[in-house]
Amino acid sequence: MKPAVYWLSALALSSSISLLGCRSMDDDRRSTQQPAPAPVKEEPKPAAEGPKSGTRDGWNTSWMAFPTGNKSTSVVMLEYATPAEVRLNAPFEYMLNVTNLTELTLDQVIVAETLPAHLKVKSATPAATEKDGSMRWEFATIGPRETKQIRVNCSAESTQLITHCASVAWSSKVCISNTVVEPKLKIEKNATPEVLTCEPITFSFRVTNSGTATLRGVRIEDPLASGLTREDGGNTITINVGDLAPGQSRDFTAMAKATKTGTYENKATAKDDSGTTAMSATTKTVVKQPKLEIAKSGPKVHFIGRPFNYDIEVKNVGDGVARNAMLEDVLPAGARFLSATDAGSATGGRVSWNLGNMAPGASKKVSLSVVGDTAGKLRNVANASAFCAPPVQAEWVTELQGIPALLVECVDDPDPVLVGTTTTYTIEVLNQGSAVATNIKLACDLESCMEYVSSTGDTTGSLAGSKVTFAALPSLAPKARATWRVVIKGRSASDARFKITVTYDQSNRPVEETEPTNYYQ
């Protein structure tokens, strides 16, 4: 709005005078935040007074206070000072003083003077703008209680009375200030860059008011990507931040978990009650899963008492590191631990290995040596585990078999033997092996100098020609003995041989033993 301008003549006090204010364009709109203020009550206008004049020390003076004529209630005072008498065509000087009577700065103060036709102006300080018989001075501002002086040099070109008339105008404004603030909201978000499926994902948020206005009711909303959930099962993180003063920041954290492997990207939004909104940069979290595989091998058939090895291999076939991988082999009953590779330790029938961290694609092979003491099937189980990896298991079955091994011994008593007397052959069969021997058959061959008398033992014997044959012994356990005795009489002198032959199912060759006996006469 253009300021109102007032022109007041020092010699025309009957002019209508009004003081107008200046208002901003926003005053034409009613505020939605606060009620409009009550209108300012106008004070009654004081009665106008005329100009004051006088003569002193050869000078004529005249002044006028505008707009009321009274200095105490006016804004501007205009003063003239001219010589009381001037000579025809002789140069003289007169002065104009314009004074700001207020404590405020006046803008665009204009002093205008109408020149008599017979007054010739030679110069003015400050310089004036002359047009159509008038001079005009413009002052951009006049400070509180400040006086600006105008000096004019001129001469009279006739003896007519010189009458000076001047007017003053100024701009009056009523001003009000509005503080302009700018709300600015900023949100920063970070996320754990990589986790395993069993680990939580940590989101951190920093909300900052980087503007100049207080933000009310700030909140964070972070819709989680598909496959992520809050720890309580929801799929959106919502955080009430509250009010943020200019320059204030607040930090928050939240947790989520992944239901499957993959790469998850998302961004968070912060907003306040007025609709000011900010969005974070996109965060990225890679979720991985270690996965173990285990394989075990060993002999399918082995013999009691002989050491053998189990070989175990563990692989990480997942895409995440298998941290703190462990391997454990449970020894079955009937197997004794002998040794293990790679610092495997045995405690309470279990052999354990600490495999450490296994990167994706890594594998580890170990071995353990055992011995079986009893026949039967040994079912050996190995278990592998690691942080965040499902445990895996492998087993191997080894059938332990024994080997029967028969030892045949024969002793004659007495030896030598007098012809016509007897000697007893004691035959013992010992199973030195680790398995039961079955269907054990014993036969003894007699030479011509020998005469069969009798036989006893674990089975019944009988003579057929020159051979004594015993009934089959069904079985002989490992470390067990079977005993037979055969009584023989000497028929004639001879350096004789008593031959024993033993057969059993587990051997395709007989076991033979010969006992020498000296028969004399």
Region for residue 465 given its phi and psi (left: phi exceeds 0; alpha: psi -120 to 50; beta: otherwise): left
**Residue-level pLDDT at 44:** 57
pLDDT digits (tens, 9 = 90+) for 319-352: 999 999 999 999 998 899 999 999 999 999 999 9
Collect all residues with Cβ–Cβ distance below 8 Å to 160 and sequence separation of at least 6: 116, 118
d(CA 470, CA 463): 9
**Residue-level pLDDT at 45:** 56
pLDDT digits (tens, 9 = 90+) for 263-308: 999 999 999 999 999 999 999 999 999 999 999 999 999 988 899 9
Tokens of 77: 């005072």
d(CA 225, CA 239): 17
pLDDT digits (tens, 9 = 90+) for 230-262: 988 899 999 999 999 999 999 999 999 999 999
Which is nearest to 183 in space by CA: 207, 200, 201, 205? 207
% of the chain exceeding 90 in pLDDT:
79
What domains are there in the chain, each with its CATH number?
Answer: 4-33+43-172 (2.60.40.290), 185-288 (2.60.40.10), 292-401 (2.60.40.10), 406-520 (2.60.40.1510)
d(CA 168, CA 8): 5
Q: Is the pLDDT of residue 157 over 90?
A: yes
Q: How far apart are the first and last CA of the chain?
A: 167
Three-state secondary structure call for residue 370: strand
pLDDT digits (tens, 9 = 90+) for 187-226: 999 999 999 999 999 999 999 999 999 999 999 999 999 9
In this predicted structure, which of 46-55, 417-426, 480-489 has the lowest mean pLDDT?
46-55
- Considering just the CA atoms, what is the radius of gyration of the chain in Å? 65
Three-state secondary structure call for residue 105: coil
pLDDT digits (tens, 9 = 90+) for 68-101: 999 999 999 999 999 999 999 999 999 999 999 9
